[in-house]
Copies of this chain bind each other. A is one copy, B any other.
Amino acid sequence: MTSVGVVETRYLDLPGPLPLDCGRELSRVRVAYETYGTMSPDRDNVILVCHALSGDAHAAGIAAQPPEEGTREGYAKGLGWWDGMIGPGKAFDTDRYLVVSTNLLGGCRGTTGPSSTDPATGEPYGPDFPVITVADMVRCERAFLDELGIDRLAAVAGGSLGGMQALEWATRYPDQVDAIVVIASTHALQPQGVAWNAIAREAIMRDPDWQGGRYYGTGRAPDAGMGVARMVGHITYLSAPGLAEKFGRRLQDGLNYTITEPEFAVESYLRHQAAAFVRRFDANTYLYLSRALTYFELGPLDQVKARTLLISFSSDWLYPPAASQEIADTLTRLGKSVENHVIDAPYGHDCFLLEEARQTPIVRRFLQEGTE
């Protein structure tokens, strides 16, 4: 299997204002995107891939721009966040499909978000950016695809918050999406997940450098709080057995009787993760996307026409297999076409980014069946 090669992120400005759930609208929305593969003459082979909280438009291939330092393995090489799944012969096979990936509305990697300039003031939006929802993200994706002349999607796919978008697509635009691939996601975040997200946001907002969200251009950003938010997120993305396997109770450098310095290897790892994340991610975007994903509640599934593939992971306690099962049961009861797979793997929620080898045959066969 090979890579899609070097990829340039492109940008598209939506022509009209984007209406939002909160009642406001956004004008001059810019969308950062990448595409991999070739559009068929019938324009019927487009797959939209939706990223999760900390992702971006660069889903596959090697970034043309020099990559910022990041936390994921592969980042240093400029590899897209789902490079293992998108490419020739891969799960989302670019020999067959045109895969389109956008940075989410509210993002900080090229698409309009709280760090963008508010055309009304000429200043960054900051906390004046409207509070957005998953439905708003999907509206933005729909408007973006309109501009590309893509009416209909062969599939929408994503993990976590990306899976929520796929589900939203199937209910909001039932006639415009043939299939959805929903990985490690849920119809509604469970209350414990709501709490973890609230704590992560508190950590950011309680950092005095957050400055009520107006930190742009001040030379100070809430890196300390963002670091804590990332640490919380990170541990919820892993599983207890996964942590035990990776770090155990291993000490970093003997026992030094210190409070301020890392003693256990996992402490050192968390600090590293936090430091790398704050370099590449905007704190306000974290707040807005975190809020959007806690709001998400999937509407009625009666109108769904898309074939649905659900994949979850046995050790994912944040987006547990039971959530996918619930969606599958509802779709089945309604007589819809649905497949639900639970992959037994120890790495928690992060499995959706790691267990490519085991997801690939499931996704390939599912997509294939849609073309038969």
Which of A's residues lie within 8 Å of B, judged by CB? 21-23, 127, 130-131, 188-192, 194-196, 198-199, 201-203, 205-208, 213, 224-225, 227-228, 231-232, 235, 238, 240, 243-244, 246-249, 255, 257-260, 262-264, 266-267, 270-271, 274, 287-288, 291, 294-295, 297, 317
Contact = CB atoms under 8 A, between A and B. Distances in A.
A317 B240 contact: yes
B257 A22 contact: yes
A320 B101 CA distance: 42
B191 A240 contact: yes
B131 A258 contact: yes
A191 B249 contact: yes
How many protomers of this protein does the assembly include?
A: 2
Contact of A202 (B191, B201, B228): B228
Contacts of A207: 206, 224
A266 B225 contact: no
Contacts of A291: 259, 263
Given A199-B231, A201-B259, A202-B228, 19 more contacts: A131-B257, A190-B240, A191-B243, A192-B240, A192-B244, A194-B264, A195-B235, A195-B266, A195-B267, A195-B270, A198-B231, A202-B270, A203-B203, A205-B260, A206-B224, A206-B227, A208-B208, A249-B297, A259-B287
Contacts of A194: 249, 264, 266-267
A233 to B, nearest CB: 10
A298 to B, nearest CB: 12
Contacts of A317: 240
A263 B295 CA distance: 9
Contacts of A249: 188-189, 191, 194, 297
A52 to B, nearest CB: 19
A201 B262 CA distance: 11
Given A131-B258, A202-B227, A205-B260, A243 B195 contact: yes
Contacts of A271: 202
A247 B191 contact: yes
A198 B267 contact: yes
A244 B195 contact: no
A248 B194 CA distance: 9
Contact of A199 (B198, B235, B294): B235
27 contacts: A21-B257, A22-B257, A131-B257, A190-B240, A191-B243, A191-B246, A192-B240, A194-B266, A194-B267, A195-B235, A195-B267, A198-B266, A199-B231, A199-B235, A199-B270, A201-B259, A202-B227, A202-B231, A202-B274, A208-B208, A213-B259, A240-B317, A255-B295, A259-B287, A259-B288, A259-B291, A263-B295
Contacts of A213: 259
A294 B131 CA distance: 39
Contact of A243 (B192, B235, B266, B288): B192
Q: Which of A202, A235, A260, A263 has most B Cβ within 10 Å?
A: A202
A255 B238 CA distance: 31
